[in-house]
A and B are shown apart, each in its own frame.
Chain A
Amino acid sequence: MNAILTIAGNTISEALRRKVLNAFLLGGVAVLALTFMFGQFTARQELTLIRGMGLGIITLAGIFITVILSINLIPTEIERRTIYTILAKPVNRWEFLIGKWLGAIATIGVNIVLMGVVLIIAVALKQIGAENPSNPLELLKGILMIFLQMVLLCSVAVFFSVFLTPLVNFFLTLSLFIIGNMSSFTQDLAKTGSNILVKGFFTVVHYLVPNFGNFQFTNPLVNPAVEVKSELLFLTQNCIYGLVYSAVLLILAVLIFDRREV
């Protein structure tokens, strides 16, 4: 455990120094500040825009931070040969992999939380004196979902990174993110497919492709008046889904990485 935490800690401190990630973070925060520019709208519309755009920007910045961080997590260590000195120490390969993953998750978490806090403050400030203000802390639900989405995305990228080059990984992970977001289409196609083969294919796609779309919880946050049925159950199931799917990917990554020559 000590080794995992040491590697995770080191990953965080290194990642937070990477300018590219800071740039995304700053960009995210800057654009959040830009959401103050919807002054020409009524207060209610302005809040809708800030909430919707804000969560979108956090997601977008989250995707780039996650993908760029995760696809390079292992390859960089190999390329720089730092992995040799680490694995020459009494560190299991799985410990190294989990440590790197944990460090990335923590980094992503810090970024998302920072952006989320900015958004919540922005919304809270905008709501001062507004009619029927909604609780800005509700946004935490969306931020949690974005974080879990990124956990899953990180796991996907780490899984690919143990056997693919970063460039291939980049496109593959992003493609998978988009496909995984369109899972309501795959579900529909699985139901309405023209023949058994199509139905079967999309059923498999729907259940096995990581369903990033599960984590889209923006609608009820942007439109606080809508009532979500079984919200707690939904959010809990999503959390479990994200973590279990990540576990599957990490186990696969560990199994492959264990045989991998570095």
Chain B
Amino acid sequence: MSLSGSKTNLLRGLLVPLILLVVFLQAQIDPLRRQPAIEPPQANKVIGGLKGATLPFEYMLGAVSGFRQVIAGLLWVRSDSFFHSGNYDAILPMIRLITWLDPNWLDPYATGAWHITYNFTDTDQRSDRRYLPAGVALLNEGIQSNPDIFDMYKEKGWLYYDKIKDYNESAKALEAGMQHKPDINQVGHLLANAYIRAGKVDEAEKQFADNIRLHKANLADPKANDDTKMRSGSGLKNQEGQLDKLAFRKKWRAVNVNPPIDADLKFQVRRIKPKVIEITGSWNMIGSKGFDKDKGIIVEGPVDGARLDIRLQDEGYQMPQVADFNFELDPSVMIMQDSVSVRGGKKVLKGGLYAQTKGRATFNDLAADKVGVYGFNEQDSAGLGVPLDQALAGKAQISPFGMNQLATVAYPLPYNSTAVFPPEAEVPALFNRLKNDPGKIAELTKKGFCIAVKDSQVEGTFKKEIDMSKDPKMYGFAKDKYELILSFNPRYTSDFVKDRLGWNGEGLSDKRYLDTTTIPGARILRVKIPITKDDLLGNGEKVIMDSK
């Protein structure tokens, strides 16, 4: 014994206050350590797990005894390997567990939501839209766990913008993201564009201005690092350009939308064999071919690329709001969404320039395209006009517009010019120069340029075969009634189309399919066709619907 009795008693006596101090400290520590930033309450859910997502015992033991992040990391590395092998089904339970284990880790939400909403596809790369509510729910969970960080709002904004195409929801998420020290390049820029697509042009303009202000503030901030400054520098340039474009578009779209074009949408829906349908049709889609920021649309005409959305779904289906992220699907629900672009619309007026494509499917000449020169194949161009050399020799009369086209095609403007045609006064001189330049004439003639001797217009057409027979998991055909929705929303079409149709479709019209109610404030094309199960599954060919 090296301790005397009194020392022993002293030590024993010390124990009581020390143990009380331990209890006191624990009571002080508890509320602090259980704040979500240190010990997220969700982490404990892994104990219970979820159907299809339960941790092996040793993982669970590790997770509860201080190795949460390690287990989350291991699962993440594992799910990455599944991703590379394309085993997406295996990833979802892992995402579920990882976001429970480490609710503050943002990548699993973002990547997980992306997997869910983009990577589950049928053989034709159409994504499985039944997963969209789950993707939104996962991002909502991410927001709930990380309400003060912009990232999850940005992801949600992007999902609504790019995939779901609900721009009001997108803007709402991004607006929230703007409250939390956002990366302006990511959040602010997208928000301005979301406003545009939501039809809120003034808000978009304000947002561009805001973005510019914020970028400038970053550039002036002495504490900002080089990376931030570099990004803000390029962001500033981008937004100034966007704001400038917005200004002249606002000005010209107010004018150029008139008079509204008649889209004259015609289509046929045909069953080719069970579970395979074909949608064909035509559509007079007019857009801006040549645009001058100071003068608006100079040349307009049929354009390629506007897309018609095609959606086949259970009758009356609405995307549900899901409170909790759960990756299990209702297999009885069916949604097929695709789109088809309109191509091949063309137009030429008497005395105007067109191109003979001579067997080539398309005519690729950017300078010519910009001035409204279309390519006509042999069939379409029979008797339409004469080759350029012959026309210049007097076999056809060239209209003043044709002269402008010809001058520009022969002597293209500098590539950075914003004008469509050379100044009016220079056109005669250029035309004369061409007439005295046999080499140039021969070259252009050889390219197929002709002068029309009469007017001609061909509507753009579309054709899409949709095969739902190869993916029974996605297309179960469990219900009896379906609806096929064909739609075109000018709000998210290309700018060269919007230049003619307006921000919200002001310049769009259709005798039969104009819809002004589905999306408030927007004039869209929309047709809903009821389809029965028998229509889709029956044998042999059948015309399900013909708009003619």
Contacts and interface: CB of A to CB of B under 8 A. Distances in A.
Any A–B CB pair closer than 8 Å: yes
Contact of A177 (B32, B38, B65): B65
Interface of B: 1-3, 8, 11-12, 14-15, 18-19, 21-23, 25-30, 32-40, 44, 47, 61, 64-70, 72-73, 76-77, 80, 84, 102, 104-107, 146, 148-149, 151, 227-228
B67 A59 contact: yes
Tell which of B8, B39, B69, B76 has the most Cβ of chain A within 10 Å.
B69
A240 interface: yes
Interface in A206-262: 206-208, 211-220, 222-223, 225-230, 233-234, 237-238, 240-241, 244-245, 247-248, 251-252, 254-255, 258-259
Interface stretch (A73-81, A108-116, A181-189, A192-200): A181-189
Given A228-B38, A254-B3, A258-B3, A219 B32 contact: no
Interface string A64-96: 000000000000000000000000000011110
A206 to B, nearest CB: 7
15 contacts: A45-B107, A49-B73, A52-B72, A52-B73, A93-B1, A93-B2, A177-B65, A208-B19, A212-B65, A222-B69, A226-B148, A237-B29, A251-B11, A255-B11, A258-B2
B452 to A, nearest CB: 55
A60 B29 CA distance: 24
B69 A218 contact: yes
Given A223-B106, A225-B146, A248-B18, 13 more contacts: A40-B80, A52-B73, A52-B102, A93-B1, A132-B227, A207-B22, A208-B23, A216-B38, A218-B68, A230-B32, A241-B25, A247-B18, A251-B14
The 9 closest A-B pairs by CB, nearest first: A52-B69, A56-B70, A223-B104, A92-B2, A181-B65, A226-B37, A234-B32, A241-B25, A178-B65
B227 A55 contact: no
Given A226-B104, A240-B25, A241-B22, A38 B37 contact: no
Given A60-B67, A131-B227, A252-B15, A219 B104 contact: yes
B23 A56 contact: no
Nearest to B145: A226
A91 to B, nearest CB: 8
Nearest to B150: A225
Contacts of A40: 80, 84
Contact of A184 (B44, B67, B148, B227): B44
Nearest to B76: A49
Contacts of A255: 3, 8, 11-12
A159 to B, nearest CB: 12
A216 B66 contact: yes
A49 B39 contact: no
A182 B44 CA distance: 10
Contact of B64 (A53, A181, A228, A258): A181
Contacts of B30: 187
A44 interface: yes
A213 B29 CA distance: 11
Given A48-B105, A245-B22, A92 B3 contact: yes
Nearest to B61: A178
B19 to A, nearest CB: 6
B26 A211 contact: yes
Residues of A contacting B: mostly: helix
B33 A234 contact: yes
A149 B19 CA distance: 18
A226 B26 CA distance: 23
B3 A93 contact: yes
Tell which of B33, B40, B64, B68 has the most Cβ of chain A within 10 Å.
B33
B34 A184 contact: yes
B25 A52 contact: no
Nearest to A38: B77
Contacts of A41: 80
A30 to B, nearest CB: 16
A48 B107 contact: yes
A216 B39 contact: yes
Nearest to A92: B2
A219 B71 CA distance: 13
Tell which of B8, B30, B146 has the most Cβ of chain A within 10 Å.
B30
A160 to B, nearest CB: 17
Contacts of B14: 251
Tell which of B12, B40, B70 has the most Cβ of chain A within 10 Å.
B70
Given A92-B3, A225-B146, A214 B67 contact: no
A188 B29 CA distance: 15
Contacts of A187: 30, 34
A40 B84 CA distance: 10
Contacts of A252: 15
A207 B23 contact: yes
Given A241-B25, A248-B19, A251-B15, A229 B73 contact: no
